[in-house]
Amino acid sequence: MGMTPKDVVALAKAKGAKLVDYKFIDMPGIWQHKTVPIGEFDETVFVDGTGFDGSSIRGFQGIEESDMLLIPDPNTAIIDPFMAAPTLSMICNVVSPDKASYTRDARYVAQKAEAFLKATTFADTSYWGPEAEFFIFDDVRYDLTQNSAFYEVDSKEAIWNTGRDEGPNLGYKIRNKEGYLPVPPMDATHDIRSEMSMVLEELGIAVEAHHHEVATGGQAEIDMRFDTLTAMADKLMLFKYVVKNVARRNNKVATFMPKPLFGDNGSGMHVHQSLWKDGKPTFFDEKGYALLSQNALYYIGGLLKHASALLAITSPTVNSYKRLVPGYEAPVNIAFSARNRSAAIRIPMYSTNPKTKRIEFRPPDPGCNPYLAFAAMLMAGLDGIKNKIDPVTEGFGPLQVNIYEMSPEEKAKVKSVPGSLEGALEALRADHKFLLEGGVFTQDLLDTWIDYKYTNEIDAVRLRPHPMEFKLYFDI
């Protein structure tokens, strides 16, 4: 049973909260917050909300209609572990002054997607398990001016520091692509990942495991227990908040940027997903390929049919496409397979338990807005079931070979994901009707998303000279 407003007021009193923090997400996917003294907090805020200027939030309102409200969700109430004063924290939905739900509020989109699922005959619940990778660095510096540009990240465990005078340098630097599961002292970030995991557990987020990831320079992964769609998106936002703040209090910095290092693996967010009905898994069939039911295959067909458009939401940064290139375990091939990590969709085969049967969509990265990303993937999968999109008939596999090692003739038959954010956005512009079903996404939201990405990200990179261009062209 969930928390009630009365329960939250009692929690605040029991924990001696002095302040209340209201968190909400902007359109690109970054948490924002507003804080009030405890004397300004009572049960009425769960009905009346608390105001903010929507024109100052990315992707929201124009200045002529800027007044908006935050309505906190009592089920998200926690005591924030990072605030100096005892602070009650809640995640909010965004509404208009007349209390109408706001169609550009990503959390509302996720809630609509869950309602849409319940209205189908296929299933009533979806479960989501994102694996958000990240880097823990010791230092980051960057700057851009009219006549210069540079960036530099550093990590004591990185291979580029084998020759640095560290007074003394103790060695144990992780070679490129050899960071997966080494023990300390090679794994220099074990303790900080453990601290992150323990804070997550204290906040009610079940952690299944943590480990060093493939890349040098402090790449990490902490795996959370799966949950329903909106609840999992809430947890992922809290997860990122915890990871960044634990790193900060250890005088380190964590980033979920998909590709911060040249020449080594980027950070993805493989998303495990499954559908259930009446408390039973619908993706399992002991006689099916990889123990998958026909509806699971149709769901895969929907994801792959709409993959190019999906990436505009699930891999939504210019930097995402520095990760989605062959050679770094990146799932650039629109195909599915059991166990095969070179396909966009992998069917995990660790267990034959029907309750564990799920599919893993691998192109997303943690730079996405999780509410929009999960909702979009669900809508694509449901479109596959509704229209019986068979991934085999569509030519998406199954493929049991390493796609990267196929001959050019064989590989030519396998479609690839877009090579740029611009390509993904144009795919979304051409293929988005499946997202509009049931009013889950709106045309206004998608148009705003595409315009924002072009204006604020694609053009920002496209118009600026790159250091590599000086190396290639300065002598011409």
What are 282's strand-pairing partners?
A: none
- β strands within 328-405, DSSP E: 336-338, 345-347, 359-361
SS3 226: coil
DSSP states along 396-447: -----S-GGGS-HHHHTTS-B--SSHHHHHHHHHHS-HHHHGGGSS-HHHHH
Cα–Cα dist 161/171, whole Å: 9
Which is catalytic among the residues 21, 105, 133, 365? 133
Which is catalytic among the residues 21, 80, 213, 365? 213
Contacts of 463 (CB under 8 A, 6+ apart): none
Question: What is the phi/psi pair of residue 240, to 5°?
Answer: -65, -40
Whether 203 and 164 have beta carbons less than 8 Å apart is answered as: no
Specify whether 457 is catalytic: no
Which is catalytic among the residues 21, 26, 114, 131? 131
Which is catalytic among the residues 40, 43, 53, 410? 53
Specify whether 213 is catalytic: yes
Name the residue with tokens 């990436």.
311
Which is catalytic among the residues 104, 107, 193, 270? 270
Handedness of CA 105, 111, 117, 119 (dihedral sign): negative
Which is catalytic among the residues 73, 221, 227, 264? 221
Specify whether 53 is catalytic: yes
Which is catalytic among the residues 360, 365, 383, 457? 360
Which is catalytic among the residues 178, 341, 390, 394? 341
Cα–Cα dist 317/28, whole Å: 9
Specify whether 64 is catalytic: no
Specify whether 323 is catalytic: no
Which is catalytic among the residues 362, 365, 383, 432? 362
Specify whether 166 is catalytic: no
Type and span of the H or E element at 308? helix 307-314
Return contacts of 112-119, CB within 8 angstroms, 24+ apart.
112/375, 112/438, 112/439, 112/440, 113/229, 113/374, 113/375, 113/378, 113/379, 113/440, 114/228, 114/229, 114/230, 115/438, 116/379, 116/382, 116/437, 116/438, 116/440, 117/275, 117/378, 117/382, 119/438
Angle (CA) 361 225 135, round 5°: 70
**Residues annotated catalytic, as ranges:** 53, 131, 133, 213, 221, 270, 341, 360, 362
